[in-house]
Structure 1
Amino acid sequence: MSEPSEAGCGGWNSSGCTGTQYCPPRCPRFVDKQGARWTIRPAQAGDADRLEEMYDAFGPTDRAQGIPPATDHERVSWIEMLLSEGHNIVAEGPNGLVGHVAYTPVDGDRPELAVFVHPEYHDRGIGTELCKHAAAAAVEAGCEAIELHVERRNRAAITVYRRIGFEVVDDELDMRMVLPLDDPIASRVRAPPAER
């Protein structure tokens, strides 16, 4: 861990932070729309049980395109697959994990993104921040773009994705959206808090 004088940020008030070598590719501190503090960090193997707990709270209306899977066995297998084959990032607070974003395959030029936020924490900006972290990580990994599929009736998610910079490329059954990871998006998702 670094000395406080080397950290360069003001703790939870990071509005003046110009970036440090300890928090690339994006600042891990996030304060949501309600003022709650979250740490956005890469998932670890030990997070599997905590992700299972988070996904246990998802009901039928919280699922899209069959994910997260409804049965315990399928959900555990799905989480294990994501943790072993994907790039995973979680949102963590005092009560545990409340958000998860993953893209897979990690070595693809255009991996597919999936983002989920615990139902009790919707509309706070957590999903948006997770998407920006995934985009920043994908830029660092050399990906050309990331894509996702979203149900056309999910207008709130589509609005969020468009604000981030995703573009609709197909909308026959569900919407397929792509976020190109060249500038200005590549610079914007990796910018330190003072430059946002």
Structure 2
Amino acid sequence: MVSAIDQHRRPSSPTTFTDRAERPITVDAYAGGPEPVVEMYTHFDDESRSQGLPPRGEPRIREWIDGLLDEGLHVVARHRGDVVGHAVLVPFDDRAELAIFVRPAYQSAGIGTQLIGRLLEYGRENGVSHVWLTVDRNNRIAMNLYQSAGFETTARNRGDYEMERYL
């Protein structure tokens, strides 16, 4: 049940791995302030945005992150202390919506796979049982990531697919 998300129990321990570019990456639950996450999102250019996210400009990014941090469960990936990936489960009716972003210079290195796995584990530990997301139908990399994490396409809307899975 998503209402149990308010408990915010942390996963047992952080995951550390070496990404495909030989960088040490640590993935763990996040309950800190907005600054490290806002800083990560300032590195996204227009080509790195999907479905209007992240917003453009630091003030809009800050407003968006402040709202996200107020609810849901967050997991971040760090390289040498800097946030390079962020994933969140936000309660929505009887499900939680998933969003995941990896800083452009760190994409296609296996970080998204680690983030999504850790986030789904964290969600399960906090009572989340049903997760959904939308993805641009042209974003093959993201669709492959979601499918490899067990998501199935449940609806096709204009240029987006809705995907979901039970935990």
Normalising to structure 1: TM-score of the pair?
0.74
Alignment counterpart, residue 144 of structure 2, candidates 139, 143, 159: 159
RMSD: 1.8
Identify unmatched segments of 5+ residues in structure 1.
Answer: 1-22, 182-196
Q: Is residue 170 from structure 1 mapped to residue 155 from structure 2 by the alignment?
A: yes
Post-superposition Cα deviations, 1:103-134, rounded to whole Å, max 9, x if no partner, equal 102x8641000000000001001011111111
Identify unmatched segments of 5+ residues in structure 2.
Answer: 1-9
Post-superposition Cα deviations, 1:62-114, rounded to whole Å, max 9, x if no partner, equal 11111111132221011111111121111011151100001102x86410000
State how 1:25-44 maps to structure 2 within 5 Å: 25=12, 27-44=14-31
Higher Cα Rg, which structure: 1
Structure 1 contact 103–111 (Cα < 8 Å) conserved: yes
SS of the counterpart of 1:159? helix
Q: Equivalent pairs: percent with the same residue?
A: 35
Counterpart for residue 71 of structure 2: 85
The amino acid of 1:74's aligned partner reads R
Task: Give the drift of 1:136.
Answer: 0.4
Alignment counterpart, residue 97 of structure 2, candidates 112, 120, 123: 112
State how 1:19-168 maps to structure 2 within 5 Å: 24-25=11-12, 27-46=14-33, 48-94=34-80, 96-105=82-91, 109-168=94-153
The amino acid of 1:131's aligned partner reads I
CA distance in structure 2 between the partners assigned to 1:26 and 1:161 by the alignment: 23
The amino acid of 2:61's aligned partner reads R
Task: Give the drift of 1:34.
Answer: 2.6
CA distance in structure 2 between the partners assigned to 1:161 and 1:62 by the alignment: 18
SS of the counterpart of 1:111? strand
CA distance in structure 2 between the partners assigned to 1:73 and 1:24 by the alignment: 31
